[in-house]
Structure 1
Amino acid sequence: MSETKSDPGSVSFGYEDVTPDEKTARVGAVFSNVARKYDMMNDAMSGGMHRLWKDRFVRRVRPRAGEAILDMAGGTGDIAFRLARSGAAVTVSDINQDMLDVGVERAMERGIDGLVWSCQNAETLAFPDRSFDAYTIAFGIRNVTRIDVALAEAYRVLKRGGRFFCLEFSTTEWPGFAEAYDAYSHHMVPRLGQLIAGDADSYRYLVESIRRFPPMKQFQTMIGTAGFKHTKVEPILGGLVAIHSGWKV
């Protein structure tokens, strides 16, 4: 399902249409609720495949030593830890401080130093123009209140020649698999959320947010509208997950 709404002043929160301020607050509450169990739930929901998707995503980014990379909605650090192996200077940003706190703890446990952790709203970044060589966002863009504004901010903070990479759930186009996954996600994911995190409602929202996110080609168009060139979408599992990219030229 796309982001089409009857009220032009509303945005989607799962299957509900709410005010922008209400969405921001409610999304914040969701991630504060699930922060401590977020990574465990990712393993349970995807059968561990999210790790392979993230590895593939970072290979596409091709981080290099000395580069400045902004990992937006970086939360618990999964993407940042992978990026940092290259020697890149990585700034991890997230609107939710609870998620960042978990990420800082995980970095300390792994002995990973040098990351910068910064609480930021993707729509109103505090960084100067042309600050970064690359901007990454994994499984976060669909939770942003105004996606077009966040894309414009990504474009602003990138240097000329900078690259944008987004890993996000979409809708698989494989016949049969789409129906099976739809049934699994709507019925099993909230149950797993209740069992593992004690929170079915937050995971019900996360499933619904995937359904309301624009289809792959529509989102690719939005990236181009923000100013990015050479946009590309790489479907995984028929589009269940997709890697989106674009360049600031």
Structure 2
Amino acid sequence: MYPKVGSPKKVTMKWLDKAFAPLKDYLDAHHPENAKAIMGWMTYKGNFDDLYCYENRMTQGYIEFDRSGQLIRCSDNALDHEYELGYERIPVKTESIHPNVDRWIDRTVSAKKADIFREELRLFLQHVWGPMANYDFSDLKANYPLQGSGSPYCLYVYPSRFSKMIAFQFVGDEIVEKNCSLREYQKFEKSEREFMYQGWHLVTLIREFLAFEPDLSTTREVVRKGCEWADMRIDENTEFVLTAEARRMLEELEKEESKK
């Protein structure tokens, strides 16, 4: 009988071995030649009702075992492990980096976050946001713009003086590969929902979206469209310019109010 697996405060190799034990033993017994390749695509979904549940990240196929290791359910595509993208991914080559890119990172981003996300930030600032902002990053902030702290495994960047409420979420490997606790992943998901609830347009970025073509071109288009779709930023400093017709109507309303 396999022991029950709870949500850890911190993901360790010991916990991972316990969580994936039923799947690993099954693959070693029935698919020994492809066990390692299949495991690379599988995500542990939880231990519910004495069932161990796993999902294939690419196909979303499920496979489940009971505590004895007996196979309960397996989708047709749960154990798929060979995929073709259908197009060639070409690494992005950067001849030179604008001096404002590294200057902004060093001045604005914490040393810890810069160590983790420097590659993604350089690609994003050089190839995506830089051309849109003429490489002027003076209004870019590198912190969580909402109340609270967001996910500790993400870096949040947003233009503070831009007319639209748009933010960029750089996601760390712990979230992408789900090598974090369930509670930490739920905090990440809650943070994403909070942006939506408060009217922000959130663009999620991972290294692969920026380091290869045609993914980079797609990301550039997503950001451009995001800027169009984002809600207007309205605060106490926002200026509204009325048309002549609107001013005339406002004056008439004020006159009517004064007669009462």
Q: TM above 0.5, one fold?
A: no
Which structure has the higher relative contact order (CA within 8 Å, separation 6+)?
1
Q: Which has the larger radius of gyration?
A: 2
Q: TM-score, normalised by structure 1?
A: 0.26
The normalised TM-score by structure 2 is 0.25
Which structure has greater helix proportion?
1
